[in-house]
């Protein structure tokens, strides 16, 4: 059963055709990888499906409902939460506050309507704090809850970003280069965390340069090259695909 089905996506930036008839299927309960050489269109694809840029054409379906990725908050409400290649935290806020902001997407009291707190709002606010703490524990950074987020180590900032995305209770967690800048130990821990998230019922789609990590964790992989999908299938199928070997070998030849 597909959770996310995307087809016929085209996107042009000026003279550059960034995506050509791109498509993607993410089965429910899976971890799917989106890979390809630099400039293949992976981030453009992510940006289009999560509402950052409008697609020129394409069909987008999440959990059997068509959704229109015309605005980031609409996509978030539809059930897709994403992280970015360059970490985007509220750097001056504490770790806990960062996750609370994510949680407010799913609660009735607005973030700023809580100045004149009714008892129900106080209750909801306490619930948000509890939920945020639970998520920090879940990703393993609860001891740093009261630190200012910019003071966290790189690996912990990545975990915080994932916790904040999970706070919106997404159907699909879309991760853009989650292992970027991590050492081997951090990558191993990230892999365990992602497997735990998937095991607890959240489907994951990830762009990742570390092909070994992708091959080790994903049940399916889609490969883009120059804005087109050149392969889609299990890691074994993709690894042996001549077009994929060609795309990556070409990359090796260019240094």
Q: What is the pLDDT of residues 151-209, one digit of tens each?
A: 999 889 999 999 999 999 999 999 999 998 889 999 999 999 999 999 999 999 999 98
Instruction: Give the max Cα distance, the chain.
Output: 65
Strands 172-176 and 80-82: parallel
The pLDDT value given to residue 253: 40
Strands 203-207 and 80-82: unpaired
The pLDDT value given to residue 144: 96
Contact criterion met (CB below 8 Å) for 75 and 69:
yes
116/152: higher pLDDT: 152
**Interior/surface letters 14-43, b for 16+ CB within 10 angstroms, e for the rest:** eeeebbbebbbbbeeebbbbbbbbeebbbb
DSSP the chain: -EEEEEEEEEEEETTEEEEEEEEEEEETT-EEEEE-STTSSHHHHHHHHTTSS--SEEEEEETTEE---SSHHHHHHHTEEE--SS----TTSBHHHHHHHHHHTTSSS-SSTTSS--HHHHHHHHHHHHHHHHHHHHHT-GGGTTSBGGGS-HHHHHHHHHHHHHTT--SEEEEESTTTT--HHHHHHHHHHHHHHHHTT-EEEEE-S-HHHHHHH-SEEEEEETTEEEEEE-HHHHHH-HHHHHHHHHHHHT-
131/118: higher pLDDT: 131
What CATH number labels 1-79+171-183+190-255? 3.40.50.300
The whole-model pTM stands at 0.90
- Residue at token pair 């990703």: 139
Q: Nearest CA to 10 among 44, 52, 51?
A: 44
Q: Taking residues 96-102, report their average pLDDT.
A: 92
Distance between CA atoms of 19 and 158, rounded to whole angstroms? 28
103 — pLDDT class (breaks 50, 70, 90): confident
Residue 218: pLDDT above 90? yes
Contact criterion met (CB below 8 Å) for 244 and 223:
yes
- Kindly list the domain boundaries of the chain, sorted by start residue: 1-79+171-183+190-255, 89-169
Express each pLDDT in 39-77 by its tens digit: 899 999 999 999 999 999 999 999 999 998 988 888 988
Distance between CA atoms of 29 and 17, rounded to whole angstroms? 32
Tokens representing residue 126 in the block: 């306490």
241 — pLDDT class (breaks 50, 70, 90): very high
Contact criterion met (CB below 8 Å) for 117 and 174:
no
Beta bridge partners, 176, equal 207
Tokens representing residue 212 in the block: 């070994």
Residues 6+ apart with CB under 8 A from 47: 53
Residue 109: pLDDT above 70? no
Residue 112: pLDDT above 70? no
The pLDDT value given to residue 168: 93
């Amino acid at each position: 059963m597909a959770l996310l089905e995307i087809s016929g996506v085209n996107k042009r930036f000026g003279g550059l055709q960034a995506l050509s008839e791109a498509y993607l299927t993410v089965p429910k309960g899976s971890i799917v990888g989106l890979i390809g050489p630099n400039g293949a269109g992976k981030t453009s694809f992510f940006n289009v499906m999560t509402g950052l840029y409008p697609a020129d054409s394409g069909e987008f379906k999440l959990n059997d409902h068509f959704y229109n990725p015309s605005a980031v908050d609409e996509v978030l409400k539809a059930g897709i939460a994403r992280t970015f290649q360059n970490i985007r935290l509220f750097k001056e806020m504490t770790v806990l506050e960062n996750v609370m902001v994510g949680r407010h997407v799913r609660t009735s009291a607005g973030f700023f309507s809580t100045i004149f707190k009714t008892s129900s709002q106080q209750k909801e606010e306490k619930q948000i704090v509890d939920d945020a703490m639970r998520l920090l524990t879940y990703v393993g950074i609860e001891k740093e809850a009261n630190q200012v987020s910019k003071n966290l180590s790189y690996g912990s900032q990545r975990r915080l970003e994932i916790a904040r995305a999970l706070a919106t209770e997404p159907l699909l967690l879309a991760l853009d280069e989650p292992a970027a800048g991590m050492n081997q130990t951090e990558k191993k821990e990230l892999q365990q965390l992602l497997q735990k998230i998937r095991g607890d019922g959240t489907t994951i789609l990830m762009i990742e340069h570390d092909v070994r990590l992708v091959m080790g964790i994903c049940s399916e992989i889609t490969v883009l090259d120059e804005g087109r999908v050149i392969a889609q299938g299990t890691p074994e199928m993709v690894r042996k695909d001549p077009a994929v070997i060609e795309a990556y070998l070409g990359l090796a030849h260019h240094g």
